[in-house]
C-alpha cells in the first residue's frame, strides 16, 4: 500500500535480489534492494498527495473479493458498470487485487473523484 501511495511521485524498481543465504539467521525468503527515483514529472500535483493517499488507503482496506467489489464498497467508483469499464480499460479482472493496479490506473481513479 505504501508503494502505491507514493508512486505518483516516485518510480520504484527492484534493483537487486539478496539471497536468503546471505543473512544470519537465515530468513525464509530472499531479500531485495528497492530503488526509489523521484519522477521528473509527478503524475499528480504535490498538493493532491494526502487526498490521493487517503483514497489508496480506503481501497486497500475495503472489504470485497477482488477489485470489482472493493471499488464499489470503498465508494471509489459509483457502481458495478463503472467499475467493470474501469477495470477493462486497465486490463484488470474483477478478481484482481488493489496491489495489481498500475500507477496510472490509481491516478485515473483518483482523478475521477476530483
Domain that holds residue 61: 2-10+41-113
Contact at 8 Å (CB) between 69 and 77? no
Residue-wise pLDDT for 9-35, tens only, equals 999 999 999 999 999 999 999 999 999
63 part of a folded domain: yes
Which H/E stretch holds residue 106? helix 103-113
- Rounded-to-integer distance, Cα 58 and Cα 76, Å: 8
What integer pLDDT is reported at residue 107 of this predicted model? 95
User: Number of folded domains in the chain?
Assistant: 1
pTM of the predicted protein model: 0.82
**79 CB contacts (<8 Å, ≥6 apart)?**
72
81 part of a folded domain: yes
105 part of a folded domain: yes
Residue-wise pLDDT for 77-112, tens only, equals 998 899 999 999 999 999 999 999 999 999 999 997
- Rounded-to-integer distance, Cα 68 and Cα 71, Å: 6
Amino acid at each position: 500500500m505504501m508503494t502505491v501511495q507514493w508512486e505518483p511521485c516516485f518510480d520504484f524498481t527492484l534493483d537487486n535480489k539478496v539471497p536468503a543465504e546471505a543473512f544470519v539467521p537465515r530468513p525464509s525468503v530472499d531479500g531485495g534492494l528497492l530503488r526509489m527515483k523521484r519522477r521528473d514529472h509527478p503524475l499528480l500535483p504535490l498538493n493532491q498527495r494526502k487526498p490521493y493517499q487517503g483514497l489508496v488507503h480506503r481501497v486497500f482496506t475495503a472489504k470485497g473479493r477482488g477489485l470489482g467489489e472493493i471499488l464499489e464498497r470503498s465508494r471509489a467508483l459509483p457502481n458495478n458498470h463503472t467499475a467493470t469499464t474501469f477495470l477493462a480499460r486497465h486490463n484488470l479482472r474483477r478478481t484482481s487485487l488493489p496491489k495489481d493496479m498500475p500507477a496510472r490506473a490509481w491516478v485515473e481513479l483518483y482523478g475521477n473523484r476530483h
